Structure 1
Amino acid sequence: MPDGQVLDFSGLTKQFGSVLAVDGLTARVEPGAVTAFLGPNGAGKTTTLRILLGLVRPGSGSATIGGVPYAKLRQPLQTVGAVLEASSFHPGRSAANHLTVYAQAAGLPSSRVDEVLGTVGLADVAGRKVGGFSLGMRQRLGLAYALLGDPGVLVLDEPANGLDPEGIKWLRGLLRELARQGRTVLVSSHLLAEVQQTVDQLLIIARGRLVFQGAL
């Protein structure tokens, strides 16, 4: 069973020009629960997640996964599964081909591709080009990519975006099951109504600052 890791944000600050995107954020996300990362658009959620995943360098402070910054993880794909952008797939490649490239790069067995496509409900369109996928299907493919390495940590930015009501219900069940297995599940959203039936813990930020952390 994959090990969930504690996500630690400590005094995190990031400024873009005159805009203070993240302002002294300190928070902790525990394994075994679905934690919602909430705030209005522009609150600093995506910047915080990008810092956690080593895509943006903070001005000050740190963000770690099990005490280690992302850049120093020995097996990143097997430790953290992340979805930050649902449209970052090559439109001319099939869903299976897209995942196979990542599996090979991470030294994962090709059988994982079929497994994760089945998990997210895309097995029957594995051979189809991603260019013809709806936003909801792209979200599912992003989730398949995140699950590829069977990671203990999942970081998902607005994963319900583009899903129909049935898809949202399915996602809710999947996230709860992943947390029940002991994984760390961090899900960002700007709508409390969208996540309130799914989550156990909340982090709420506004203008880059933590305004609430605790149970629903």
Structure 2
Amino acid sequence: MTFEVPPGQITGFLGPNGAGKTTTLRMVLGLIRPTAGTALIGGRRYETLPHPRRVVGAMLEATAAHPGRRGRDHLRILAQVTGVPETRVDQVLDQVGLTEAAGRRAGGYSLGMRQRLGLAAALLGDPRVLLLDEPANGLDPAGTVWLRTLLRDLTADGRTVLISSHVLSEVAQTVDHVVIVHEGRLCHTGPLAELDDLETAFLRLTATEASASADAH
């Protein structure tokens, strides 16, 4: 699997359940060591970045915050660890629409609110690269539109955004570039505009890859 994620664009990282999307993101972040190959961010491995959380913001799990901790306190602790000013906490809370709920305990948040808190944590270091695993999960229709607008604003500022998702209808309205994988193999990478219909192309490409894999065995 070899691909590049272009800056200034939203890239959709797509594949059926179990295709290896989350595993790949974990490899990029150094949470899993690949048996072969290298994952690079700006030409460097994540663990060699001098201030990694200021370069890369990641959201892999919406349940990462301790349920007994208030939303604002969760971000304050992360700010200390990241080495960013505490003023960033209120900035990102406002950015994700959680200012009014910041004093509530995370255990009382809805799934959509936990997603917003996870996104706030990813944005805390004002990173140039964002890796987001199913960021629209749990958001209502208005929240999904809000997320789409936020991501577009971030890439308009030149940031690199990679989102994994299996909701093709939303991806088709959001991304500029697509990477499609199946069973740990790359099926396609390129601009979304190259595909006439994302859902049709996705089903065809993953079916073709599955058939080729079966023939190989």
Pairs within 5 Å for 1:109-120: 109-120=85-96
Which segment drifts farther, 185-194 or 139-148? 185-194
* Partner residue in 2 for 1:125: 101
* Partner residue in 2 for 1:19: none
* Partner residue in 2 for 1:201: 177
Q: Name the one with the larger helix percent.
A: 2
Distance in 2 separating the partners of 1:173 and 1:136: 16
Q: Is residue 94 of structure 2 the alignment partner of residue 138 of structure 1?
A: no
Of 51, 55, 62 in structure 2, the residue corresponding to residue 79 of structure 1 is: 55
Distance in 2 separating the partners of 1:36 and 1:76: 22
- SS of the aligned residue for 1:64 comes to coil
* Partner residue in 1 for 2:128: 152
- Structure 2 unaligned segments of length 5 or more: list them: 193-217
Q: Name the one with the larger strand percent.
A: 1
* Partner residue in 1 for 2:20: 44
- SS of the aligned residue for 1:162 comes to coil
* Partner residue in 2 for 1:165: 141
Of 58, 77, 85 in structure 2, the residue corresponding to residue 101 of structure 1 is: 77
Pairs within 5 Å for 1:171-186: 171-186=147-162
- Structure 1 unaligned segments of length 5 or more: list them: 1-24
Distance in 2 separating the partners of 1:88 and 1:107: 19
- SS of the aligned residue for 2:39 comes to strand
- SS of the aligned residue for 2:162 comes to strand
Distance in 1 separating the partners of 2:144 and 2:67: 24
Question: Which amino acid is the alignment partner of residue 45 of structure 2?
Answer: P
How far off its partner does 1:190 sit? 1.2
* Partner residue in 2 for 1:61: 37
Distance in 1 separating the partners of 2:97 and 2:84: 21
Could you tell me the percent identity over the aligned residues?
62
How far off its partner does 1:106 sit? 1.7
TM-score (norm 2): 0.88
Distance in 1 separating the partners of 2:188 and 2:127: 27
Question: Which amino acid is the alignment partner of residue 35 of structure 1?
Answer: T
- SS of the aligned residue for 1:123 comes to coil
Deviation above 2 Å: which 4+ runs of structure 1? none
How far off its partner does 1:191 sit? 2.1
Distance in 1 separating the partners of 2:172 and 2:102: 32
Over residues 28-64 of structure 1, what are the superposed CA-to-partner deviations in whole Å (9 max), with x where a residue is unaligned?
Answer: 0010000000001100000000000000000000100
The CA RMSD measured in Å over matched residues stands at 0.6
Question: Which amino acid is the alignment partner of residue 97 of structure 1?
Answer: D
How far off its partner does 1:88 sit? 1.4
Over residues 85-119 of structure 1, what are the superposed CA-to-partner deviations in whole Å (9 max), with x where a residue is unaligned?
Answer: 00111011100000000101122111100000000
Distance in 1 separating the partners of 2:82 and 2:183: 37
The structure having more radius of gyration, on CA atoms, is 2
Question: Which amino acid is the alignment partner of residue 28 of structure 2?
Answer: L
